[in-house]
């Protein structure tokens, strides 16, 4: 089961730098301080969204799923690739 939360624009830019929409918690931890991460995550956890109310999902943070890094070398969901290098999806979603 995956939880969904509202993230403010400023928080999103910190968690997902550049044009990325995939992040891994260990990489976030290496970019920002533990205090800043705790502050952001505490704020986000206070804003859960029921799945039936979701209008769009703009990013995904993976926890303890190192094996998934190979599928997202650019950290962009629409560019996901199989370990062989072929596209993970048949179409690119914009």
The pLDDT of residue 88 is above 90: no
Instruction: Give the per-residue pLDDT at 41.
Output: 95
pLDDT (tens digit, 9 = 90+) per residue, 13-70?
999 999 999 999 999 999 999 999 999 999 999 999 999 999 988 999 999 899 999 9
Residue 93 has pLDDT above 70, yes or no: no
User: Measured between alpha carbons, how far is 94 from 85 in angstroms, rounded to an integer?
Assistant: 20
Name the pTM for this structure: 0.85
Q: How far apart are CA 21 and CA 61, in angstroms?
A: 8
Q: What is the pLDDT of residue 83?
A: 83
Residue 87's pLDDT band (boundaries 50, 70, 90)?
Answer: confident
Token pair for residue 91?
A: 């179409």
């Amino acid at each position: 089961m995956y939880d969904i939360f509202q993230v403010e624009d400023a928080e999103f830019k910190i968690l997902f730098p550049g044009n990325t929409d995939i992040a891994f918690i260990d990489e976030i931890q290496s970019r920002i301080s533990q205090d800043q991460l705790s502050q952001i995550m505490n704020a986000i956890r206070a804003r859960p969204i029921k799945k039936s109310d979701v209008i769009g999902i703009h990013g995904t943070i993976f926890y303890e799923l190192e094996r998934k890094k190979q599928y997202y070398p650019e950290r962009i969901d629409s560019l996901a690739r199989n370990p062989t290098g072929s596209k993970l999806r048949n179409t690119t979603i914009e």
